[in-house]
Structure 1
Amino acid sequence: MQVQVKKYTLPLKHTFSISRESHDFQDTMIVSLTLDGKTGYGEATSNPYYNITTQSMMDEINAISSEIENFEFTKPEVFHAFLVSKGLSNFAICALDLAAHDLYGKLLGKPLYEIWGTSIEKYPTTNYTIGIASIDIMLAKMQEMPWPIYKIKLGTSDDVAIVRELRNHTDAIFRIDANCAWTAQETIHNAPLLKELGVEFLEQPLKADDWSGMEEVMHHSVLPVIADESCIVESDVEKCALHFSGINIKLTKCGGLTPALRMIKKAKELGISVMVGCMTESTVGISAIAQLIPQLDYVDMDGALLLKSDIATGVQIDPDGKVIFPKLAGSGVQLLD
């Protein structure tokens, strides 16, 4: 099995800001795995919050490239276990695991959702993310991209007023992501005001390790609260079930589709809602997420929609949120260059 890694810098349509950072470009790493004339593609982006760079991931993979090439590939789950045994970061494992799943589907000639026994007749609509900016810029982004559901990034001193002004210009559903910027008291205070403004749920309002604060929020918030930064890996699901209404799984953080499938199953067993979210990434990563949507309650897979230009073809998303799946098997990905 041949392995290749390559760095890309993805240009964004607009400056993207959350409570802790802003950027105009996103570095990402694409992995390709080739076997029997078929090539699978996977992706993982750099992430300063987790001290991950494209170079660090590429170094990890290059260090074991000969072992990967000599690995007898059968199923993605077996390959994933091998990668974990090598001590790679979850981000690097994610890129390889996504490539392995895409390759596996292409070898079988079936899309992943079909291999997993799910149907794409019904699935949740992805939100479109509006980063922190001035009201005028946030409104301009909404007008540029009319969408049925918006995720609004907050974490300012005037968050409720921002949502109130945005509500004057759209009937779309709102989801709020404070990216750890609020306190428990702020969350409890803001929740009823935001509910009146058509907010569906709050995502990670408190710092990731503020479990006592989240317990207080769970007892008093009138809106559901979804874990993001508090839910990284499989072992976090059970703890989050005691402190959140649901979880947002990020493939890069948990290590790919293999653990994500187990996290979805565990969350459903525990009776909490399941969301899968994206990074600002290309169609390579988004197409992998799309394979999971029949199993989800919510999805945030707008990463490629935020780009000025893409590097791959695969799953497409219409302006009304409808997902168009490619005829190509696996995740349906093909690089443009």
Structure 2
Amino acid sequence: MHLEISVRKLPLKHTFTIAHQSRDAQETLIVKISEGEMYGLGESTTNPFYGMTAENMAGCLREAAMFLRGKSLRHPNDLWEDTQVFFKGNPFAQCALDMAVWDLYAKSAGKKLYELLKLDPGKIPLTNFTIGIAPIEKMVSKMKEFSWPLYKIKLGTDHDLDIIKELRKHTDAVFRIDANCAWTAEQAIRYSEEMQSLNVEFMEQPLAQRDFEGMKEVYKYSKLPVIADESCMTEEDVDKCHGLFHGINIKLVKAGGITPALRMLEKAKSLGMKTMVGCMTESSVGISAIAHIAPLLDYVDMDGSMLLAKDIAEGVKIYPDHVQFPDRDGIGALLIPN
């Protein structure tokens, strides 16, 4: 197998702000793994908050590339285990490779990925569309620009309740709110009481990543379900989140790819927890991969390509009532020539 790496820029429609960062463009790394004439694509975006750069991801992938050179395609589970040694501390890079391997493996079987996994594409939950932190009038303007029945609202300001109350005046859409670790337990519990009446479906990661004591209180007293994000990055975190959160939001890049994410989903379901997969502003390469496993989920956040001013790929198309898959095997994504 032969591995190629490229780094691309994804320009955003609007400045995207969450509790700990803002950006106008997203850097992303694309992996292409080929065997003969057939190839698979994978993606991972960079992220300064987690220390993931194009340089350190590419370094891991180059080592994996040398290991894979001359070897034949095997099941993605086996290749994930075989190459894990090259990705210690860098799950983002491992995700890009793992996604590409799943794409290639499904293509070699002559199937779309959801067919390979025996999933029903008619059972994909509606994705939310994310509204980043901005002046309230700008957030309202973003909603009006992109009318959608389900919004995720990024919070973490000193006037979060005012934001939700004002946005509610302009739409009947369901809200999900994501504080990205910005609140205290007292705030989360208090906000949940008011947000319950404002058609908010759940709260995502209200407290700091390892504030487990605080989460015990929130889990006990919150009027809304609480979903873990930053607190549930790896397989080992699923058990830790049980009894503190009602569900988990898995990011493929944080987990290390589709392979561990599938195990995490199975574990969460066995514990009676709700399941969600989220995105990290990927192009249609990464978003298409998420869509193929979305029938397993209770909730999904795969709006990354919808936030872009210009996509670098084509793949799934997302509508309020369905997801349209291209008539191509694998994850179905193709890079658009520069």
Partner of 2:282: 281
Partner of 1:34: 34
Partner of 1:170: 171
* Distance across 2 between alignment mates of 1:50 and 1:217: 25
Q: CA deviation at 1:36?
A: 3.0
Identify the range of structure 1 (302-311 vs 109-118) with the bigger mean alpha-carbon deviation.
109-118
Partner of 1:7: 7
Q: CA deviation at 1:117?
A: 1.2
- Pairing of 1:17-28 with structure 2 (within 5 A): 17-28=17-28
* Distance across 1 between alignment mates of 2:221 and 2:243: 14
Deviations 1:90-142 (A, max 9, x none): 11100000000001111111111111111112220000000000111101110
* Distance across 1 between alignment mates of 2:76 and 2:2: 15
* Distance across 2 between alignment mates of 1:65 and 1:229: 30
Partner of 1:71: 71
Partner of 1:241: 242
Give the alignment's TM-score, normalised by structure 2.
0.98
For the pair 1:182 / 2:203, whether they are aligned, the reply is: no
C-alpha contact (below 8 Å) 2:63/2:86 kept by paired residues: no
Instruction: State the AA in 1 paired with 2:135.
Output: S
Partner of 1:82: 82
Deviations 1:282-313 (A, max 9, x none): 00000010011110000000000000001111
> For 1:292, what is the secondary structure of its paired residue?
helix
> For 2:14, what is the secondary structure of its paired residue?
strand
Instruction: State the AA in 2 paired with 1:79.
Output: L
**Alignment RMSD, CA only?**
0.9
C-alpha contact (below 8 Å) 1:47/1:53 kept by paired residues: yes
Instruction: State the AA in 2 paired with 1:170.
Output: T
C-alpha contact (below 8 Å) 2:124/2:322 kept by paired residues: no
Instruction: Summarize the Cα distance change of 1:321–1:129 in structure 2 as closer, same or farther, 3 Å threshold.
Output: farther
C-alpha contact (below 8 Å) 1:122/1:294 kept by paired residues: yes
* Distance across 1 between alignment mates of 2:71 and 2:183: 46
Partner of 1:304: 305
* Distance across 1 between alignment mates of 2:55 and 2:297: 32
> For 1:11, what is the secondary structure of its paired residue?
strand
> For 2:122, what is the secondary structure of its paired residue?
coil
Q: CA deviation at 1:85?
A: 2.6
* Distance across 2 between alignment mates of 1:72 and 1:237: 33
Unaligned runs of 5+ in 2: none
Partner of 2:141: 140
Unaligned runs of 5+ in 1: none
Instruction: State the AA in 1 paired with 2:80.
Output: H
> For 1:222, what is the secondary structure of its paired residue?
coil
Q: CA deviation at 1:55?
A: 1.4
Partner of 1:253: 254
C-alpha contact (below 8 Å) 1:148/1:321 kept by paired residues: no
* Distance across 2 between alignment mates of 1:223 and 1:102: 37
Runs of 4+ in structure 1 displaced over 3 angstroms? Answer: none
> For 2:127, what is the secondary structure of its paired residue?
coil
Q: CA deviation at 1:87?
A: 3.6
* Distance across 1 between alignment mates of 2:176 and 2:99: 28
* Distance across 1 between alignment mates of 2:101 and 2:58: 16
* Distance across 1 between alignment mates of 2:81 and 2:72: 13
C-alpha contact (below 8 Å) 1:41/1:98 kept by paired residues: yes
* Distance across 1 between alignment mates of 2:56 and 2:173: 40
Q: CA deviation at 1:70?
A: 2.5
Give the alignment's TM-score, normalised by structure 1.
0.98
Partner of 2:200: 199
Instruction: State the AA in 2 paired with 1:85.
Output: V
C-alpha contact (below 8 Å) 1:147/1:321 kept by paired residues: no
> For 1:86, what is the secondary structure of its paired residue?
helix
Q: CA deviation at 1:39?
A: 1.1
* Distance across 2 between alignment mates of 1:204 and 1:87: 26
